[in-house]
């Protein structure tokens, strides 16, 4: 690279850093807040709208309520993947949508839940709203004229498919009215018999009209007919302190990581630090541009992304130092280092990206939100590591910074006999995993449950209290919550302010009559609350059984896809199977921590486990990539055991450095965060530590045992 081009590359890099800093902090036009302040925050960080519906007629069955909650959950995800839906009492459903402040707008767009029927011209009901699986507004091109047409696509259930086939066969050329709450909202003519359960409604609509029609059909397809009971704007659950401390912890962690990279890798560390700053700015800008809702679980995806961005640079520059140690020139070492690191970086990131895409497509709620932030982080980290870092380091070389001392030289490292200790490592792993199951059994026998499930998983009681003054979120956390914890014995209390009032919603474990009375007394005595302004309602879990099943299926499919990719890339099923076993090991050890420490299992539990999956598989791929490489170039005197030990030893620096930088980011969240953030960060710290242990001590040994045992037979 010519010196003039190198200087230009560095100038352009500086301009990019400046633009990202300006866009992130200030934004364009001067009067607009920057990208960092415009990011959509979830209900836990910024509050939103809460709407309560009540069943219109009679008392619905449990199955009808569960089905309605699940369908509403899928529907409100159009506003945010982090929207929550749960049952209150026997016949009420509450929807909470983050980042929205206009309840009337939501009510209008979501539609008023009511009864939906498809009737023929004689008034016979041929199809009910519950027979409609989905209704979507689409734009299609007319094959004859080439003009665009707005229409509604309907997908019917198995029962609806059968009913509609009979109805359309009997009414060709006639109208089938779509009737909502006794009013005809559309009167399409049947052109042909529809037997496949897929139908379209067309007829010169504007796109806004088909969107409204599709929304009405969807909301009318609920099993339970609902009517609005009340709506309000609620404040953040965690408050400004949670956001500010998390941001400060992230900033301090990032500075520590940058300094560490510069210390460990000298000039390449400076290049990677600049690239990491660009990565952080790009992620913030993209979160804003793509309107991704950021919640506490979403922060996990960003942390993992930073860890993987650092990891890619560590892999590259560890290779560069090895090549310099082997006697290559600085330029040759840089070129070879990037070339040899490419496969490990691509395989590790693509494997995790596959998981993120599957989780994003199949997951719901927080799973989908986590997948979005994770996928974004992976794509941006690959760009900054493989392109931005490369441009910067070669620009440094081009302007004359060519001394080996600036790049560091990796001396030949004595191979450590990891496989010789594999029985000890396996025993430790088995003991860690079994400790979790033992703890679950002990707590279950005591009647405390195998895990400490939070409100999101098992429901509880919502207590609405109108206080005599307007408490801030910080005052609620410091003054009110301790009183509630003492009376109820619940250490996982959640609170929400109703904006514009002195009312606070307090969510706890299910409270029996005695505890409700005790809480009343405490609130009256300590806060002079009018007891008549205290109301209680039992609430269901916000993570329904259907959502749990969706999450489990999504994780299983993602695991199968990762296994298939590893098998395809490494052409050895033992690589894939040992990677998945190690991944399962890490998840079970973290689960054991949840069981033993009785950490609350809620929304962040899912995000934590998914973070461990992504982190663990990436670390494993790096070692497997080196084993594959060394196996191809091994000398005749080298045994398979030598190859595995050498590969683990050569990647040890990467394993330690990446684990350290990721651990620092999470540990600072734990040290500086509020209680709910600490509860989220603690299992992540365990996951990072156990991921480092399994990648170094377990994965290579598992592959070796599988390969030698199978070949021996």
Domain shared by 532 and 596, yes or no: no
Q: At what angle do helices 296-325 and 603-633 cross, to 10 degrees?
A: 20
pLDDT tens digits for range 450-495:
888 887 778 888 888 999 888 887 788 788 888 888 888 877 788 8
Domain shared by 248 and 304, yes or no: yes
Domain shared by 600 and 615, yes or no: yes
Q: How far is CA 312 from CA 200, 318, 582, 619, in A?
A: 48, 10, 21, 11
Nearest Cα to Cα of residue 57 among 223, 209, 233: 223
98, part of any domain = no
pLDDT tens digits for range 63-90:
778 777 777 777 777 677 667 787 877 7
In this prediction, residue 596 has a pLDDT band, given cuts at 50, 70 and 90, of very high
Domain shared by 156 and 303, yes or no: no
Domain shared by 241 and 177, yes or no: no
In this prediction, residue 437 has a pLDDT band, given cuts at 50, 70 and 90, of very high
Residue that terminates a domain, selected from 509, 539, 569: 539
List helix spans (H) across 111-187: 158-170
- Specify the pLDDT at position 358: 83
Task: Judge contact between 6 and 394, C-beta under 8 A.
Answer: yes
- Specify the pLDDT at position 29: 44
For residue 18, the enclosing domain spans 3-23+237-403
49, part of any domain = no
Q: What is the pTM of this model?
A: 0.74
- Specify the pLDDT at position 557: 85
CATH at residue 491: 3.30.70.100
CA angle at 298 for the pair 293 and 302, rounded to the nearest 5°: 115
Count other C-beta atoms under 10 Å from residue 394's C-beta: 18
CA angle at 108 for the pair 107 and 113, rounded to the nearest 5°: 65
CB-neighbour burial class of residue 120 (10 A; exposed 0-12, middle 13-18, buried 19+): middle
672, part of any domain = yes
CATH at residue 432: 1.20.1640.10
pLDDT tens digits for range 264-298:
888 988 998 898 888 888 888 887 777 777 766 66
452, part of any domain = no
Strand, coil or helix: what is 70? helix
Nearest Cα to Cα of residue 375 among 540, 554, 614: 614
Measured between its terminal Cα atoms, the distance across the chain in Å is: 55
pLDDT tens digits for range 385-430:
889 999 999 999 989 888 888 888 877 778 899 999 999 999 999 9
Nearest Cα to Cα of residue 87 among 103, 75, 105, 72: 72
Task: Judge contact between 451 and 440, C-beta under 8 A.
Answer: yes
Residue that terminates a domain, selected from 539, 563, 579: 539
Domain shared by 506 and 426, yes or no: no
Q: At what angle do helices 545-570 and 330-362 cross, to 10 degrees?
A: 150
List helix spans (H) across 32-88: 35-38, 43-46, 62-76
76, part of any domain = no
Better-predicted residue by pLDDT, 510 or 222: 510
Give the count of domains, the chain: 4
Q: CA 262 to CA 404: how far, in whole Å?
A: 15
Domain shared by 697 and 551, yes or no: yes
Q: At what angle do helices 675-697 and 296-325 cross, to 10 degrees?
A: 30
In this prediction, residue 32 has a pLDDT band, given cuts at 50, 70 and 90, of very low
Domain shared by 528 and 628, yes or no: no
82, part of any domain = no
HSE-CB of 274 using CA atoms within 13 angstroms: 24
Average pLDDT, the chain: 82
Residue that terminates a domain, selected from 516, 539, 562: 539
Domain shared by 131 and 207, yes or no: yes
Strand, coil or helix: what is 173? coil
In this prediction, residue 26 has a pLDDT band, given cuts at 50, 70 and 90, of low
Most confident of 104-118, 189-203, 279-293: 189-203
Q: CA 118 to CA 202: how far, in whole Å?
A: 16
| Residue 497 in tokens | 């302010």
Domain shared by 534 and 579, yes or no: no
602, part of any domain = yes
529, part of any domain = yes
Q: CA 412 to CA 325: how far, in whole Å?
A: 7
Q: CA 597 to CA 211: how far, in whole Å?
A: 49
Domain shared by 603 and 697, yes or no: yes
- Specify the pLDDT at position 44: 63
Q: CA 604 to CA 298: how far, in whole Å?
A: 9
Domain shared by 548 and 534, yes or no: no
Q: CA 379 to CA 607: how far, in whole Å?
A: 19
Q: CA 385 to CA 338: how far, in whole Å?
A: 10
392-398-402-408 Cα dihedral, nearest 10 degrees = 20
């Amino acid at each position: 690279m010519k010196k003039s081009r190198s200087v230009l590359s560095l100038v352009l890099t500086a301009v990019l850093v400046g633009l990202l800093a300006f866009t992130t902090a200030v934004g364009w036009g001067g009067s607009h807040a920057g990208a960092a302040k415009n990011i959509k925050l979830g209900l836990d960080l910024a509050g939103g709208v809460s709407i309560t519906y009540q069943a219109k007629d009679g008392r619905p069955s449990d199955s009808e309520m569960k089905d309605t909650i699940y369908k509403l959950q899928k529907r409100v995800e159009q506003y945010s993947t982090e929207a929550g839906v749960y049952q209150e009492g026997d016949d009420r459903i509450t929807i909470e949508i983050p980042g929205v402040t206009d309840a009337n707008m939501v009510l209008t767009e979501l539609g008023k839940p009511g009864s939906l029927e498809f009737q023929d011209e004689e008034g016979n009901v041929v199809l009910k709203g519950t027979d409609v699986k989905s209704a979507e507004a689409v734009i299609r091109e007319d094959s004859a004229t080439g003009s665009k047409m707005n229409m509604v696509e309907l997908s019917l259930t198995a029962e609806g498919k059968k009913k509609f086939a009979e109805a359309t066969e009997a009414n060709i050329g006639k109208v089938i009215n779509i009737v909502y709450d006794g009013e005809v909202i559309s009167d399409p003519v049947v052109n042909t018999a529809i037997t496949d359960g897929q139908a379209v409604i067309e007829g010169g609509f504007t796109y806004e009209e088909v969107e409204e029609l599709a929304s009405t059909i969807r909301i009318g397809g609920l099993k339970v007919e609902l009517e609005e009971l009340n709506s309000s704007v609620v404040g953040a659950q965690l408050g400004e302190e949670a956001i500010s401390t998390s941001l400060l912890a992230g900033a301090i962690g990032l500075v520590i990581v940058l300094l560490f990279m510069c210390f460990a890798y000298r000039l390449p560390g400076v290049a990677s630090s600049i690239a990491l700053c660009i990565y952080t700015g790009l992620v913030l800008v993209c979160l804003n541009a793509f309107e991704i809702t950021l919640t506490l679980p979403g922060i996990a995806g960003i942390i993992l992304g930073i860890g993987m961005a650092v990891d890619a640079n560590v892999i590259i520059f560890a290779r560069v130092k090895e090549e310099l140690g082997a006697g290559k020139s600085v330029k040759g070492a840089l070129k070879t280092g990037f070339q040899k690191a490419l496969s490990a970086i691509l395989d590790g990131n693509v494997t995790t990206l596959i998981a993120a895409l599957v989780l994003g497509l199949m997951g719901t709620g927080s799973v989908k939100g986590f997948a979005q932030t994770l996928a974004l982080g992976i794509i941006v980290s690959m760009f900054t590591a493989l392109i931005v870092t490369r441009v910067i380091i070669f620009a440094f070389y081009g302007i004359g910074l060519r001394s080996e001392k600036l790049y560091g030289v990796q001396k030949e490292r004595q191979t450590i006999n990891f496989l010789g200790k594999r029985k000890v490592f396996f025993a430790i792993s088995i003991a860690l995993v079994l400790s979790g199951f033992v703890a679950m059994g002990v707590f279950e026998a005591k009647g405390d449950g195998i895990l400490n499930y939070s409100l999101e998983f098992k429901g509880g009681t919502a207590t609405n209290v109108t206080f005599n003054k307007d408490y801030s979120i910080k005052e609620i956390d410091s003054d009110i919550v301790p009183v509630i914890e003492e009376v109820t014995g619940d250490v996982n209390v959640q609170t929400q302010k109703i904006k514009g009032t002195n009312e606070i919603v307090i969510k706890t474990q299910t409270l029996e009559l005695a505890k409700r009375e005790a809480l009343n007394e405490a609130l009256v005595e300590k806060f002079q609350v009018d007891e008549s302004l205290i109301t209680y309602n039992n609430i269901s879990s916000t993570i329904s059984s259907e959502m749990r099943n969706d999450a489990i299926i999504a994780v299983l499919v993602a695991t199968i896809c990762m296994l298939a990719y590893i098998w395809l890339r490494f052409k050895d099923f033992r690589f894939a199977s040992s990677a998945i076993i190690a991944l399962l090991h890490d998840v079970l050890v973290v689960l054991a921590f949840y069981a033993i420490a009785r950490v609350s299992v809620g929304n962040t539990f899912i995000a934590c486990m998914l973070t461990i999956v992504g982190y663990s598989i990436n670390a494993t791929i790096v070692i497997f990539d080196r084993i594959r490489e060394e196996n191809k170039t091994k000398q005749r005197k080298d045994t398979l055991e030598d190859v595995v030990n050498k590969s683990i030893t050569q990647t040890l620096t990467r394993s330690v450095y990446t684990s350290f930088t990721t651990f620092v980011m999470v540990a600072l969240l734990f040290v500086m965060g509020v209680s709910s953030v600490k509860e989220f960060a603690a299992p992540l710290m365990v996951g990072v530590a156990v991921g480092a242990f399994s990648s170094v001590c377990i994965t290579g040994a598992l592959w070796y045992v599988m390969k030698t045992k199978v070949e021996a037979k």
